[in-house]
Structure 1
Amino acid sequence: MSAVTDTEKIQDDKSNGSTEVDVRESEAERRIDGNADNRLLAKLGYRSEFRREFSLLESIAFAYAIMGPVGGASSTLGFGLSAGGHVGMVWGWLVPCCFVLAIAASMAELTSSMPTSAGLYYFAAKMASPRHSALASWITGWSNIVGQVTLVCSIDFTVAQFISVALFVGSDGAINLGTGAQYGILWALVLLHGVISSFWTRILARLNVFYALLNCTRWPVGTSIAVIAVLCNYARTDGVSREVAFTKYENNTGWSSNGWAFCLSFLSSMWTLTDDSAAHVSEETADASRAAPRAIFAAVLMTMFNGWLILISASFAIVSVPDLLASPLPLPMAQLLLDAVGKHGMLAVWSLILLVLFMAGASQTVDASRVVYAFARDNALPGSRYWKKVNKYTQTPVNAAWFVVVCAGICGLVGFSSAALSSLAGASTIGLYISYATPIFCRITSGRDKLKPGPFSLGVLAVPVGAIAVAWVAFITVVLMFPSSSVPNAENMNYAVVIIVGILGLAAVWWVVSARKWFKGPVPNVDSRDGKESEDDASEA
């Protein structure tokens, strides 16, 4: 068909008032309007309010920087060691990664079709049946916000722990910060990340390339390379055999079932691989329907293999798991590096990992602010009219960023328990993965014939891959609700249950009492057929 015929057909469809929105761009449309990204966004119901200054490389860097495998693997080394020793550390990372790839593929397909900052809850609304569209969107949106905010808090809590460890080792034990001081550091970190998240999109995009380079560059100071090199060098003379590194199992949890204890080690990789950020910055990405899905999948693959190599190196370097867990340092990786390269070498490598985590926290705050902005844009948060404002100077959602900062600081109160990191990591993982599974479930059920595929499509594999993804999320959600100890108390209980059930419970009550009467899901602010702004805005929440 000629370009002229295509153009006439498009104009005829518009004049006939067709309500079906085909998000695929024809070649004629691309030639008529060079800015295909904004045209596609208008078809989804939104006007463009951001500058599209994220390239494919910068989108991958953004997603990869948030996951930061060297920081994730180093922070959560104790989870695998406690739940299975060498086996829990090495295979407890890889097994979940295989299932996360199915989730990433399903999310990439949805993002390619519908690249909008609303992301997951927009997907859920469009894939669910008309009767349950608003409810699916509500569940997904609130789950994602809980996960996003607690992920900011968990990352910054870990950075606060890293700072505390560095001061302890650097002072030979003279400086030993308590939980109150660490909570103060946490607030300083989230405030600083709030400032960074208020920058212009152009600056944020360039920063994330630097973040990714710091994580995986081949430079001698590349953090992942440095950690792997240090551990491998130590293992050459003081490490364990290949058989021990890959097959020795030790259950230090107190749970009688070794199989169940091994499942608890999955938290390490699941927390690290919590990311849908490329979807949330898709309205700031050039050629979003292609770049965003590629960024999602590429970042997951890179994180998966990078983290696994780090943990394999650590497994060869660990001679005694019980001794490492008995260290006075709260993070076992700190003691392992101290044993491997001494005080000064440890502090040098530790500083690099700390910087990676700090940058991951900055990127995650940006990501979370986009989620809050998008959900508020559809009037689904208390005070939505404040959180959906875009700053006229930076053209970024500054108010939403500070909403995230305050909420993350409040969540940090969990830090006063001895199971703070596992609770925060568990809460963020559960919240995010529920928000991933809901639109995927809708996609393979009621939405099986609704999706208009984008450039990235699973085709006939969409249903089996989606089924695997949903089944895994159902399983891992149950696992991560359990405490790491078989005899929990107020100090070591898993507070992820409190956070998830508490916040989502309030959201459920709000739905039943009020929201179901007025919340209709994503609210278009342009007419999807002609790109004009809608006259009728939904009432403010």
Structure 2
Amino acid sequence: MSESEKFDGVTSKVDNVHTDHYPALNADDALLAELGYRAEFKREFSLLETIAFAFSIMGVVASVTSTFSFPLSAGGHVGMVWGWLIPCFFVMTVALSMAELASSMPTSAGLYYFSAKLAPPKWAALASWITGWANITGQITLVCSIDFTCAQMIASAVTVSTDGATVLSASATYGILLVILFCHGLVCSAATSILARLNLFYVVINIGTTVAAIIALLVCSGGNKVSTKDAFTLFENSTGWTNNGWAFLLAFTAPMWTLTGYDSAAHISEEVAGAARTAPIAILLGVAGTQILGWLLLIAASFATVSVADLLTTDLPLPLGQLFLNVLGKRGMLAMWSLIIVVQFVTGAAQGVDASRVVFAFARDNALPGSRWWKHINPRTQTPVNAVWFVITSSALCGLLGFSTTALTSLAGASVIGLYVSYAAPILLRITSGRDKFVPGVFSLGKWYFPIGAIAVTWVTFIVVLLFFPPAQNATALDMNYAVVIIMGVFAFASLSWVLSARNWFTGPIKTVDEPTSSVDGKGSVE
């Protein structure tokens, strides 16, 4: 096979590099070399740790807590229960398509690499450029939105603990955000082995707190619950939109924001043993587990919510905090809330790792301003520490939106739009120009790739349009949805950069090796 044949097509057939003769670790590095990249990380994420990472990055209990205001106002009980369940079916089609791509091409470059390899040669660089910038935008705004809501949770705890005497200002909340971001910068700069072990703690605290919250809401509310009929069918429109159908659709923001970041399994695939098998398993189990636990939590919340209006008019930044206060009392609420804050903190830490790997990979292909800095691997930790701090600094700048009244709507919308556009781009190419050049990996959708991919792309198109709309019909400068500002700002920058400069030098993913290698004989050759 010639060099051009190796890299122009998409292949994940590990037999091509005689991996039967080597342990899984060396097979991974040989496959990575076949995809064009030299191994630069230690492969210290196991299957269990990768699943834990993908699951923890969605932080189900903390994410539901953060976004509870969306279904609460967009349908009340119906918004909580059905506004979560309906999007889950469509998100799974995206996850299935992404799992197939990650199995075929397990590299930290992930989505923009997939686009480059599946697009027609003439458009490969542009497809890679668009996908990469969309993904980075989503990754960074997701870090910011997670940490911003963590700051809001801390602010809520302060308000409750002082019986309402202390209500933190937007400036104070932003200060807390900066502290959280700094702590995450330190955590994300650690070595891969440490990060891998931390994810086992992350998943235990995540699942444990979610189950505890479900039980607490159902048991401690006692007889003070709504009927089963009301819990599943009572509709209340508090959005400000006069059309009830449109109002209900806005509830989809909550599951869409929660069910993001599962591409993380692809982005850490260069740190994973058996990546072609492990990455798709982690993606699918992470998404399915989050969908099920999130739905059960929202059903419990629906039963425990006796007054939607009471929760919407709370002085607390996050309405679910008021629900826990109503059900558990002050001490019980603060105990549960402390656990949720921990979950949100570790979710932000996991997302920071994911975002830094995307920045590193894009910089490795010289696609970012100052790429030579952001692709640097720290010799002590063997992780992209510079890329970590690029993410932290950018997230701090995005956090300035916290001074608007719709900060969460704007940040959540921008992160979902950025990420899902980057998810849909390679899926669209997979079912169009990439049909003949795609060679499946360990996990394959077989003949179902086309209908599943078509549904995924259609759903993403719909949800992107939806998330550009403001939460109320008559928006002002203070309560408008600034997601459009973030997305269009990045789009304008990326477009101008492409037209004025990048189209002359960016060719898509670049090779850092000339041929597949193995570390077995120490000579860089495959026997």
Give the TM-score normalised by the residue count of structure 2: 0.96
**Is 1:173 aligned to residue 160 of structure 2?**
no
Matched residue of 1:70: which SS?
helix
Q: Provide the residue aligned with 2:253 in structure 1.
A: 267
Determine if contact 1:43/1:531 at 8 Å carries over to the other structure. no
Distance 2:366 2:515 in 1: 19
Alpha-carbon distance in structure 2 between the residues aligned to 1:451 and 1:28: 18
Shift of 1:176: 1.3
Deviation at 1:175, TM superposition (A): 1.7
Structure 1 position 75, deviation (Å): 1.1
- The SS at the match of 2:247 is helix
Partner of 1:357: 344
CA deviation vs aligned residue, 1:449-493 (integer Å, no higher than 9, x gap): 111100100010001100000000000000000000001001110
Q: Amino acid of the residue matched to residue 316 of structure 2?
A: L
AA aligned opposite 1:60: I
2:498 to 505, 508, 511: 511
Q: Distance in 2 between matches of 1:78 and 1:253?
A: 10
Partner in structure 2 of residue 224 of structure 1: 210
The corresponding residue for 1:322 is 309
Give the structure 2 partner of residue 200 of structure 1.
191
CA distance in 1, matches of 2:351, 2:165: 33
Amino acid at match of 1:244: D
Deviation (angstroms), 1:15: 9.5
The C-alpha deviation readout for 1:269-288, integer Å capped at 9, x for no partner, is 00000021000000000000
Q: Deviation per CA, 1:181-213, whole angstroms, max 9, x where unpaired?
A: 111111111111000000010000000111001
Specify the alignment match of 1:535 in structure 2.
none
Deviations 1:292-313 (A, max 9, x none): 0100010000000000000000
CA contact (8 A) 1:423 1:495 kept: yes
Q: Name the amino acid aligned to 1:26.
A: D
Q: 1:364 to 1:318 in 2, by over 3 A?
A: same
Identity value in percent: 59
Quick one: structure 1 residues 175 and 16, their matched pair in 2 at CA, closer, same or farther if it must change by over 3 Å? closer
Q: How far apart, CA to CA, are the structure 1 residues paired with 2:500 and 2:441?
A: 38
Alignment-derived partner of residue 526 in structure 1: 513
Gaps of 5+ in 2: 520-527
SS of the counterpart of 1:135?
Answer: helix
Whether contact under 8 Å (1:63, 1:278) holds in the other structure is: yes
Residue 388 of structure 2 is aligned to residue 397 of structure 1: no
For residues 50 and 27 of structure 1, the distance between their equivalents in structure 2, rounded to whole angstroms, comes to: 23
**Per-residue deviation at 1:383?**
0.1
* Alpha-carbon distance, 1:244 to partner: 0.1
1:94: which partner in 2?
A: 85
User: 2:43 pairs with 52, 71, 92, which one?
Assistant: 52
Corresponding position of 1:254: 240
- Aligned: 1:71 with 2:62: yes
CA distance in 2, matches of 1:328, 1:234: 23
Taking the TM superposition and a 5 Å limit, the aligned residue runs for 1:402-417 are 402-417=389-404
2:12: which partner in 1?
23
Residue identity matched to 1:172: D
Show the 5 A alignment for 1:274-289.
274-275=260-261, 276-289=263-276
Note the C-alpha offset of 1:529. Answer: 5.1
| Residues 353-410 of structure 1: per-residue CA shift (max 9 Å, x gap) | 0000000000000000000000000000000000000000100000000000000000
- Give matches, 1:94-493, under 5 Å: 94-216=85-207, 222-275=208-261, 276-493=263-480
C-alpha contact 2:10 2:105 (8 A) present in aligned 1: no
Superposed displacement of residue 329, structure 1: 1.2
Q: AA paired with 2:28?
A: D
The Cα shift of 1:530 comes to 6.0
* Pair 116,285 (structure 1): closer, same or farther in 2 beyond 3 Å: same
Q: Give the CA deviation at 1:27.
A: 8.6
CA contact (8 A) 1:47 1:531 kept: no
Tell me how far 1:327 sits from its aligned partner: 1.1
The aligned amino acid for 2:509 is P
1:239 counterpart letter in structure 2 = K
Instruction: Give ranges in structure 1 of 5+ residues lacking alignment.
Output: 1-12, 217-221, 533-541
Q: Is the 8 A contact 1:75 1:331 kept in 2?
A: yes
In the alignment, the residues of structure 1 paired with residue 94 and residue 3 of structure 2 have an alpha-carbon distance, to the nearest angstrom, of: 39
Whole-angstrom distance in 1 between the partners of 2:233 and 2:300: 14
Q: Is the 8 A contact 2:110 2:266 kept in 1?
A: yes
In structure 1, distance between residues paired with 2:4 and 2:432: 30
Change (3 A) 1:18 1:215: closer
Deviation at 1:32, TM superposition (A): 3.1
Does the aligned pair in 1 maintain the 2:108–2:268 contact within 8 Å?
yes
C-alpha offsets along residues 322-371 of structure 1, whole Å, 9 cap, x if unaligned?
Answer: 11111111211111000101000000000000000000000000000000
Distance 2:480 2:50 in 1: 37
Residue type at the aligned position of 1:63: A
The equivalent of 1:537 in structure 2 is none
Q: In the superposition, relative to structure 1, how do residues 21 and 268 fare at CA in structure 2: closer, same or farther (>3 Å)?
A: closer
- Relative to structure 1, is the Cα distance of residues 124 and 17 closer, same or farther in structure 2, using a 3 angstrom cutoff? closer
Distance 1:177 1:25, change over 3 A: same
Question: Residue 99 of structure 1 aligns to which amino acid in structure 2?
Answer: F
Give the C-alpha shift of residue 236 in structure 1.
Answer: 3.5
* AA in 1 matched with 2:174: Y
Per-residue deviation at 1:527?
1.4
Answer with 27-36 or 458-467: which moved more: 27-36
Letter in 1 for 2:365: D
Q: How far did residue 177 of structure 1 move?
A: 0.7
Q: CA deviation at 1:46?
A: 0.3
Q: Is the 8 Å Cα contact of residues 120 and 140 (structure 1) preserved in structure 2?
A: yes
Structure 1 pair 529–215 and aligned structure 2 pair: CA distance change class (3 A): closer
Q: Does structure 1 retain, via aligned residues, the 8 Å contact 2:31–2:516?
A: no
Q: CA deviation at 1:531?
A: 7.5
CA distance in 1, matches of 2:254, 2:282: 22
Does the aligned pair in 1 maintain the 2:104–2:440 contact within 8 Å?
yes
Whether 1:81 aligns to 2:80 is no
- Distance (whole Å) between structure 2 residues aligned to residue 467 and residue 169 of structure 1: 47
- Whether the aligned pair in 2 keeps the contact of 1:280 and 1:367 (CA below 8 Å) is yes
- The answer as to whether partners of 1:37 and 1:288 remain within 8 angstroms in 2 is yes
Task: Say whether the 8 Å CA contact 1:74–1:333 is kept in structure 2.
Answer: yes
Matching residue of 2:30: 39
Q: Could you tell me whether the CA contact under 8 Å between 1:157 and 1:412 is conserved in 2? A: yes
The aligned amino acid for 1:164 is A
Alpha-carbon distance between aligned partners in 1 of 2:6 and 2:159, rounded to the nearest angstrom: 66
Code of the residue aligned with 2:214 in structure 1: it is: I
Q: Is the 8 A contact 1:33 1:39 kept in 2?
A: no
Alpha-carbon distance, 1:107 to partner: 0.3
